[in-house]
Chains A and B, each alone.
Chain A
């Protein structure tokens, strides 16, 4: 089945220790998104790509970076995680245009200790 896969499902990292979350897709969608979702809150957009065209949200902290080496893979790097970065990180993909719904991965739950 075509899908969006996020690894790992759960990630525990130390305060200040860099961490990378990964996302892969077999849908061949050209748009990929990274959302941060804290407990009982709405998903908040961090970044999105149209193909390799990178788009950063204005309020995304500098501590967060992203890479998309090819259509299938996307990475979220947190350079120096703080306690406030503990959250579920959701990767989503869609086709181009308004008719496409998002397909979300199962998410990575990040804990900072």
Chain B
């Protein structure tokens, strides 16, 4: 079953922060986050595994609440290069096979 992302779209000015959420109705083992720019392939950002952890990647970090079956992606001090569509991908097992959410379109303006 497809995870649900919110919001569907976000518009920011450079330097502003954003949070993108991903919720599943099924128990999750892992959550992946990807960014896709228009006409390009998705690019891997990070994985969070069952156990409820938080990870950081420069100014982009994420958390995973296993009990709530939710993950959040945090983008701080946004840059123009952050623009794109962000997808979460979820798996209920330890062997991958992701189902992707519908995506969140992030637009950063100067």
Contact = CB atoms under 8 A, between A and B. Distances in A.
Contacts of A107: 40-41
Interface in B1-32: 2, 29-30, 32
B41 to A, nearest CB: 4
Contacts of B100: 42-44
Interface of B: 2, 29-30, 32, 34, 40-44, 46-47, 49, 87, 89, 91, 93-103
Given A43-B100, A48-B97, A106 B40 contact: yes
Contacts of B91: 98
A43 B32 contact: no
Interface of A: 31, 33, 40-45, 48, 50, 55, 90, 94, 96-107
A98 B87 contact: no
Contacts of A45: 97-99
A43 B87 contact: yes
